[in-house]
Amino acid sequence: MNRDLNELERRCGYTFRDKNLFHRALTHSSYANEHKKDKAVCNERLEFLGDAVLDAIVADIVYKHFQNKREGFLTNTRSKIVQRETLNKLAVEIGLDKLIKYSTRSSSHNSYMYGNAFEAFIGAIYLDQGYERCKQFMEQRIINRYIDLDKISRKEVNFKSKLIEWSQKNKMEVSFELIEQFLDHDSNPVFQTEVRIEGLPAGTGTGYSKKESQQNAAQMAIKKVKEPVFMSTVEEIKAQHSTTTTEPEVELATNSETELATELENEFENELEAELNVIPETKPENVLEENTSDNEISTVQPTMEAEETSQSKSPCDAPESPNRDLQ
């Protein structure tokens, strides 16, 4: 490892005073866990520090390089330099990828690891020799060699698309909410957008258009998803959403709907009863029919017997035929 350190120092033009900082910057947390080492020996704390130092140094360089450029332009240019994709490439360029110690069984061995190690490396240089030396290293050994500031400033980076692609890959729900709209001191409209992941606020961004505010908010969210604490909270919320069983909604009928249903039911029953009470004009002999008064089944006798029966009964006792008017 010492020989690798010497080779890296030769390529970078930087020699560590405290070699332990170098080793810690290149020790991934998965390696520390696998070998039961203290968390303090992994690079997570140095990564946190290096992220902040890198933002400040790149902002300083970009500010001095681009004279008379607006804040939005400077912010976007800095973002293109410190984004994960660029840092991954820089880590490979200087050979950090070959020196990182990590567990091969760890699922965290992903596209973030090289960029995270680069941030930890910058944090280690800052602790080793201070801000000015760290800035000199970034400007002379990194920016001037591997990054064309003018070219990268013109490069279009769609942070919103990157965030949506990440959400689809990880099956996360992402939404963009316009939370505020106001005027700046020159009466120009300004928009503020918030990104939410599984309903949890992940970043806000402002811009002179909705699109610009969404891009800036997505950029913040992309940085946010790198934080283990935030992502553990998101995973918990996602698990709660997936385990929550939604009971089928039972829509209760209103009084008017119930009355209408009852009315239709009664109407249907009346129509059915009327149909059953209809006596045909001619009936064949010895055919069974339903009695209209009590639904009892009676046998229709031959015509002569029927006439004798009708004569013996009072006219008031005879059932009234629905077809009487037609006879």
* Eight-state DSSP code of residue 186: T
CB 51 within 8 A of CB 119: yes
Q: What are φ and ψ of residue 287, in 5° steps?
A: -110, 135
* Active-site entry in 119, 128, 194, 198: 119
Tokens of 124: 């280690």
Residue among 119, 66, 61 nearest 90 (CA): 119
Beta strands (DSSP E) in the chain are 174-183, 189-197, 200-207, 288-290, 297-299
Alpha carbon distance, N-terminus to C-terminus of the chain: 118
Residue among 228, 204, 200 nearest 214 (CA): 204
Instruction: Report d(CA 120, CA 54) in Å as an integer.
Output: 10
* Active-site entry in 4, 34, 51, 156: 51
Q: Does 263 participate in catalysis according to the annotation?
A: no
Q: Does 97 participate in catalysis according to the annotation?
A: no
Residues classed as catalytic: 51, 119
